[in-house]
Structure 1
Amino acid sequence: MNIDINRKYFVIIWLRQDLEKTLKKEKIEFINNDAFQCKIDGSIWIKRFSQYNSEFEFSGLMRLPELDFLELWNLLLFSKIENNRIGSILIIEELYGEDLLEILLEMRNNNGISKKEKQALKLIKQYSLPFGVFHWKRNTDLNQDEKIKIIDVWTRINEVITELISR
């Protein structure tokens, strides 16, 4: 699927905001417990994540169909819509840690990173919990080995991002 970086793919609802006001502003209406519909284009949205830590609290809706890793990465790099960048980070964290690590290692092997890439890496550090903890805490089906693997991947991601940002 080709993505339009100027189109909204995520709506972040900050918990200090009123859910109804946010949905009205975004012209999205409730269909059932898990689904919403945009009044403008008929697109279907689902509740996709909730994030709570000491710095921020929010939940988010995601436009269907789900985006793949490269679409999310491009949205993170090039979209000027903050909700798209935050939503992309959280889905990458949950599903695509190994893909992110692969791109980061390629970036490290190159002689530099672009300004957009550096901004994206700073956002990943800001919104992604250390070591992908958000993912494995949400996924209770993971066994101990799978959790250790996720922690290892996110430890490496954290190290490489720190190195790239400091260049």
Structure 2
Amino acid sequence: MTNMDVVYPILMGAGVISMILALFIKRKSPIDSDSATQTVRTTDKAELEKSMQKISRQLKQENERLSADVQDTRADLLQEVQQLRRRVEQLENQAKERLPIEETTEVKVTSLPKESVTEVDMLALRERYRRAFELAKEGLTYDEIAKRLGAGRGEIELIFSLAAKNERGQADA
């Protein structure tokens, strides 16, 4: 036999003996454990109530502090709103004072000469007319053409009536 073969039975015996002792000790002091448990429970209740009261006081203090902060912030915001309103009124008054001056000044466009502006307008009109005729060839009504081109029905009718007169004039020549 080796040393390990002897150690296992000794450890097992010690474990069994300690379990038996634990059972006897528990059976012997059930009255003591109940009174100890009641004392612990009473102590726990008292500590719990104190903790709850402490937390309650802290919450009340925190609530009061937050309420004061909210009131301060609200007062600050109201002051800022009043300042902004005064500033808007000042700017509106300044704008009213400047308005007559701006009305008398002329706005000059120097980016394009007059001929090129009319050329650009004519090109845009020609494209619009071309598109109107294409849509008419597709069989759309005047209302549908007007919606697609973003124009009024009267404008579309005018385009087609002028085109019809122009075609008659060319046919006569």
Q: When you count strand as a share of all residues, which structure comes out higher?
A: 1
TM-score tier, shorter chain, comes to under 0.3
> Of the two, which has the highest radius of gyration?
2
Higher relative contact order (CA 8 A, sep 6+): 1
Q: When you count helix as a share of all residues, which structure comes out higher?
A: 2
Q: TM-score, normalised by structure 2?
A: 0.20
